[in-house]
């Protein structure tokens, strides 16, 4: 049965040259849920019961294994490394150098990462590497922090480091149990795929993913060890926002401006998660067509509706919340924005 709740619509506008036209050129449909730790749905748009692959948006939940196992403390990891464990970083030197130093600390190297290499997403860094003739290794992968966390846990617990990305590996089985508890679901029969970095990705409904984020925002019902790990992860993301993504990235800039009021995490295919510790709420949204430009604008709208983004932050972040559309000459010719009737 189709949802009786309309989706959140994100519009892409383009005006005529030398005018202030406001023509809507494209629309994206987004499904989103805002949930409390008790499972109560506070706001909803579209079909929030549909299963989705959370992709990188659920990395804060996956970082629980690193912290609650004692591995983070055993290797004296700080907020920067824990934020990197949650990151989809842009491959800047601050990220790559930290990952390499972290791996050296646990007696491993980028060759032990099973996520594969790719060029940095940060364009100046990428161009500098190409000019210098430097080939990327797996430490440049945007998921290298998460994978370093998996390896750290395996080393700490005396488990094999080879094959740590396989579903049957103890690292991944622990994460499955964590996901089941936080999402409140038996995931044994859930659809399963392979993420871009090689780890298993499990299909979980939007509303249950938002519930998991709410339990990170307010972990008072979790065991003391898991609750402490949750608070440490959220605090690390808030205190090291540029480790979570990078220079010029939406989630890093918004978290920096919000100063601890939100921990935000994007994922591939238009998924976005939000942890709101002050409100004890979790957010999950999915752009139906997988467009990243849509889910950023949708998350901005959700944060505005919840009062997380006040007038001062909205003014400061105006070009991040409703980003301009620019042409090849750099002229601003339109906007990406939530539709005027986007209220839940």
Q: What pairing do the DSSP bridges indicate for beta strands 332-338 and 263-267?
A: unpaired
pLDDT digits (tens, 9 = 90+) for 268-299: 999 999 999 999 999 999 999 999 999 999 99
For 53-64, b/e burial (b = at least 16 CB within 10 A) is: bbbbbbbbbbbb
Q: At what angle do helices 206-217 and 224-239 cross, to 10 degrees?
A: 90
* Distance, CA of 239 to CA of 259 (rounded, Å): 8
* Distance, CA of 63 to CA of 137 (rounded, Å): 23
Predicted confidence band at 22 (pLDDT cuts at 50, 70, 90)? confident
Looking at residue 342, its pLDDT comes to: 57
Residue with more model confidence, 340 or 82 = 82
Angle, vertex CA 322, rays to CA 317 and CA 323, nearest 5? 90
Gyration radius from the chain CA atoms:
20
pLDDT at 54 over 70: yes
Identify whether the C-beta of residue 221 lies closer than 8 Å to the C-beta of residue 37.
yes
* Distance, CA of 86 to CA of 63 (rounded, Å): 6
pTM: 0.94
Where do the structural domains in the chain lie, given as residue ranges? 8-338
Predicted confidence band at 341 (pLDDT cuts at 50, 70, 90)? low
State the maximum Cα–Cα separation within the chain, in Å, rounded to a whole number.
65
Looking at residue 17, its pLDDT comes to: 54
* Cα distances (Å, whole numbers) of residue 281 to 56, 216, 218, 276, 296: 19, 9, 7, 5, 18
Question: How long a stretch of residues is the chain?
Answer: 344
Average pLDDT for residues 24-50, to the nearest whole number?
Answer: 97
12's torsion region: left (phi>0), alpha (psi -120 to 50) or beta?
beta
Query: Which range, of 2-11, 48-57, 97-106, 161-170, averages the lowest pLDDT?
Result: 2-11
338's torsion region: left (phi>0), alpha (psi -120 to 50) or beta?
beta
pLDDT at 3 over 70: no
Average pLDDT for residues 59-64, to the nearest whole number?
Answer: 98
- Looking at 40-130, which runs of residues are DSSP E strands? 41-45, 51-53
Angle, vertex CA 267, rays to CA 170 and CA 262, nearest 5? 100
Identify whether the C-beta of residue 83 lies closer than 8 Å to the C-beta of residue 231.
no
Looking at residue 306, its pLDDT comes to: 97
Single out the residue of 245, 237, 288 nearest to residue 266, CA to CA: 245
Q: Please identify, in words, the CATH class of the domain defined by 8-338.
A: alpha beta
- How much of the chain, in percent, has pLDDT values that exceed 90? 95
pLDDT at 303 over 90: yes
* Distance, CA of 113 to CA of 307 (rounded, Å): 40
Average pLDDT for residues 193-215, to the nearest whole number?
Answer: 98
Average pLDDT for residues 42-62, to the nearest whole number?
Answer: 98
Average pLDDT for residues 247-251, to the nearest whole number?
Answer: 96
Q: What is the mean pLDDT of the chain?
A: 95
* Distance, CA of 148 to CA of 243 (rounded, Å): 14
Burial level of 16, CB count in 10 A (0-12/13-18/19+)?
Answer: exposed
pLDDT at 173 over 50: yes
Q: Tokens for 152?
A: 């750290």
Single out the residue of 246, 142, 236, 156 nearest to residue 197, CA to CA: 142
Predicted confidence band at 1 (pLDDT cuts at 50, 70, 90)? very low
Looking at residue 344, its pLDDT comes to: 47
pLDDT at 16 over 70: no
């Amino acid at each position: 049965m189709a949802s009786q709740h309309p989706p959140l619509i994100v519009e892409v506008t383009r005006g005529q040259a030398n005018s202030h036209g406001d023509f809507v050129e494209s629309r994206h449909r987004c499904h989103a849920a805002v949930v409390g730790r008790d499972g109560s749905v506070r706001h909803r748009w579209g079909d929030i019961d549909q299963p989705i692959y959370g992709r990188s948006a659920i990395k804060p939940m996956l970082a629980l294994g690193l912290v609650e196992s004692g591995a983070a403390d055993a290797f004296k990891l700080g907020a920067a490394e824990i934020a990197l464990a949650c990151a989809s970083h842009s491959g800047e030197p601050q990220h790559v150098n930290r990952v390499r130093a972290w791996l050296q600390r646990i007696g491993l190297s980028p060759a032990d990462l099973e996520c594969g290499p790719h060029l940095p997403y940060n364009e100046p860094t990428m161009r500098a590497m190409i000019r210098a003739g430097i080939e990327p290794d797996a430490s440049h992968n945007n998921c290298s922090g998460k994978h370093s966390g998996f390896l750290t846990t395996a080393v700490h617990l005396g488990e094999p480091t080879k094959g740590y990305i396989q579903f049957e590996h103890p690292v991944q089985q622990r994460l499955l149990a964590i996901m089941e508890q936080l999402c409140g679901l038996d995931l044994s029969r859930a659809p399963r795929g392979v993420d871009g970095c090689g780890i298993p990705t499990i299909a979980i409904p939007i509303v249950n993913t938002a519930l998991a984020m709410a339990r990170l925002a307010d972990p008072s019902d979790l065991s003391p060890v898991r609750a402490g790990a949750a608070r440490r992860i959220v605090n690390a993301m808030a205190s090291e926002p540029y480790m979570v993504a990078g220079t010029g990235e939406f989630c890093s800039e918004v978290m920096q401006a919000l100063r601890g009021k939100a921990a935000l995490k994007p994922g591939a295919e238009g998924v976005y998660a939000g942890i709101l510790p002050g409100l004890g709420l979790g957010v999950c949204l999915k752009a139906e067509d997988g467009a990243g430009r849509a889910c950023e604008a949708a998350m901005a709208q959700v944060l505005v509706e919840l009062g997380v983004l006040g007038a001062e932050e909205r003014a400061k972040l105006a070009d991040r919340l409703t980003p301009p559309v620019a042409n090849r000459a750099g002229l601003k010719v339109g906007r990406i924005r939530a539709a005027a009737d986007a209220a839940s």
